[in-house]
Structures are given as C-alpha cells and as structure tokens.
Amino acid sequence: MGLSFYWYPNCGTCKKAKKWLDDHQIDYTSIHIVNAPPSSDQLKSLIAKSGLPPKKFFNTSGKKYRELNIKDKIKDATTEEMADILASDGMLIKRPLTTDGKKATVGFKEETFNENWL
C-alpha cells in the first residue's frame, strides 16, 4: 500500500514534503486535508500509530486554533475528545499528515521522513 498524504496545497511545509516524496519516487495518494479531513476514528488510529501525544496533531500556529481558543479546550481533553475536535475542521490538524496504515507522521522533517518512508 502506498502512503496517504493529507495536505493543504497552499501550505509551504506540505509543498516541501510533497517534493520530498516526489524526489524519492514514493507512491502516495494526496488528500486535501480541508476538503476531506480524516474522521475522528481515523485520527484516533493515526494518533496511536504515530506514538505521539494527541496534542502534537494540532496546528498550533493556525488562525483557527487561536480563534477557537483550542489550547484551553484541549488542556484536560481525552484523546477521543481531541480527535473529535481535530475531525471537525481540517485546518486544525498539523500538516502534512502521512500514513501507510501501520505508522503515521505529522508535519515534515526530512530526517523523520527518511526514517519512516524510505
């Protein structure tokens, strides 16, 4: 199975990640994270597969995150509650979100992509 690559085309970090995937000739399906955000259940699964705390899945530098005061809403939230919040708006999700069904990465760091997707 190839990768599922959730991205936002106007995002500079997403463009860098996409270029990395293309340069390494890695098969992936790109999914517009705003038009087709992952469901709450998918997010819970991705959080578990990433090995990261659920808070790492939030786009903390995003306008929506600040406007909706998400920082306070997730302070004591469960993973399930955080997944529901993330699924409600793709702009709240840190991007790109990349998965092969077994593991998941969030954001783009070349070394992380090298470790996980090569």
Averaged pLDDT, 65-88: 96
pTM for this structure? 0.93
pLDDT at 1 over 70: no
Q: 3-117 belongs to which CATH class?
A: alpha beta
Give per-residue pLDDT as tens, 4-48.
Answer: 999 999 999 999 999 999 999 999 999 999 999 999 999 999 999
Q: Give the DSSP per-residue string, 56-114.
A: GGB-TTSHHHHHTTHHHHTTT--HHHHHHHHHT-GGGB-S-EEE-SS-EEES--HHHHH
**What ranges do the domains of the chain cover?**
3-117
- pLDDT-derived band at 56 (thresholds 50, 70, 90) equals very high
Give per-residue pLDDT as tens, 98-114.
Answer: 999 999 999 999 999 99
